């Protein structure tokens, strides 16, 4: 008799750190199968140790099946990284983000964090946050700074719960770079008196509030831009429909003009024929008139005389 597995049955024993290798593989179907999707295989015990999402998804499938399948139709195949579950390190393709642009890397890491939130994988969330902080420190050492794009901000704010660490990272990032960091650092180093430190703390709090407001406005503007884009697309569709109707009308008028031109040419031909017939008739009349002799020009002998 087959019994249903519990959550504890799906997780490996704490003392067997490498026992997941012997556990059955899980097939992850990522993406919409009607459009584009990818399949990844991860050991069951390893992924269930990290993610309550997979524990719930696999519960009840039965241990007799050789291959278990979990579908993630709303996820991007480019974002899923099975290597992250096995090594706790981001693979090179996620670090490169298909571009040397730091803004693109922020977007890729943001999507990966959102995926970790959806899969209830706290370890992956912390790994991504660590990578974000490392990238920030590298930029500070190099004297450059690239801010996350509005798309990255919307991705994190719209798809993470309130109080998310990724949201806090965004606020801190903007607070650090919107304020005059150099002046604040000098104030702390050379004037570390309590009153001035309180002033610095107050200024930082105000700057953080400004950053939070900026992030909220950015999200609202993104929604407004999306609404405007939809309206413009609708107007464009209406304009295209009107243009198509006018084009068909012009085409009909052009055909009518061609027909009228043909009729006009035919009328000119008929007129020319009639004029030619009239000319010939006039010529024949003239010839007939020349052949007829008037009675007063005839000889007297030819005049009729009654008997």
- Cβ 189 vs Cβ 234: under 8 Å: no
The answer to whether residue 21 sits within a structural domain is no
The answer to whether residue 225 sits within a structural domain is no
The answer to whether residue 138 sits within a structural domain is yes
Expressed as residue numbers, the domain containing 133 is 89-192
The answer to whether residue 131 sits within a structural domain is yes
Instruction: List, in sequence order, every residue forming a beta bridge with 32; answer none if it has no partner.
Output: 36
Dump pLDDT digits (tens) for 203-254: 778 888 888 888 888 888 888 989 999 999 999 999 999 999 999 999 999 9
Q: In the structure, how many helices (H) and strands (E) does the chain have?
A: 11, 3
Instruction: Return the DSSP state at 81.
Output: -
39 SS3 class: strand
Dump pLDDT digits (tens) for 123-170: 888 988 988 888 877 777 776 666 777 788 888 888 888 888 888 888
Query: Based on the structure, what is the number of domains in the chain?
Result: 1
The answer to whether residue 103 sits within a structural domain is yes
Q: How far from 93 is each of 72, 123, 134, CA to CA, in Å?
A: 20, 19, 17
What gap in Å lies between CA 26 and CA 29, rounded to an integer? Answer: 10
> What percent of the chain is predicted at pLDDT more than 70?
68
- The set of residues, in sequence order, having a beta carbon less than 8 Å from that of 297 and lying 6+ positions away, is none
Entry pTM: 0.50
What gap in Å lies between CA 30 and CA 65, rounded to an integer? Answer: 20
């Amino acid at each position: 008799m087959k019994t249903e597995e519990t959550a504890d049955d799906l997780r490996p024993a704490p003392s067997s750190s490498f026992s997941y290798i012997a556990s059955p593989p899980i097939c992850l179907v990522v993406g919409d199968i009607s459009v584009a999707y990818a399949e990844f295989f991860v050991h069951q015990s390893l992924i269930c140790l990290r993610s309550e999402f997979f524990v719930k998804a696999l519960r009840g499938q039965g241990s007799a099946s050789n291959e278990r399948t979990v579908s993630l139709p709303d996820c991007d195949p480019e974002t899923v990284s099975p290597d992250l579950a096995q090594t706790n390190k981001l693979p090179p393709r996620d670090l490169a983000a298909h571009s040397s642009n730091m803004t693109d890397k922020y977007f890729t890491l943001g999507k990966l964090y959102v995926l970790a939130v959806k899969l209830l994988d706290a370890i992956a969330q912390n790994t991504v946050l660590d990578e974000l902080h490392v990238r920030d420190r590298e930029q500070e050492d190099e004297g450059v700074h690239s801010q996350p794009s509005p798309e990255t901000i919307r991705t994190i704010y719209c798809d993470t719960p309130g109080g998310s660490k990724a949201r806090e990272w965004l606020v801190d990032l903007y607070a650090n770079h919107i304020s005059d960091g150099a002046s604040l650092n000098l104030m702390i180093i050379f004037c570390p008196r309590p009153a001035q430190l309180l002033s610095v703390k107050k200024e930082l709090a105000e700057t953080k509030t400004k950053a939070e407001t900026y992030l909220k406005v950015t999200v609202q503007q993104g929604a407004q831009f999306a609404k405007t884009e939809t309206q413009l697309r609708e107007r464009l569709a209406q304009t295209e429909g009107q243009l198509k109707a006018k084009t068909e009308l012009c085409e009909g008028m052009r055909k009518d003009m061609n027909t009228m031109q043909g009729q006009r040419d035919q009328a000119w031909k008929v007129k020319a024929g009639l004029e030619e017939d009239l000319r010939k008739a006039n010529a024949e009349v003239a010839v007939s008139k020349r052949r007829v002799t008037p009675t007063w020009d005839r000889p007297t002998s030819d005049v009729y005389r009654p008997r």
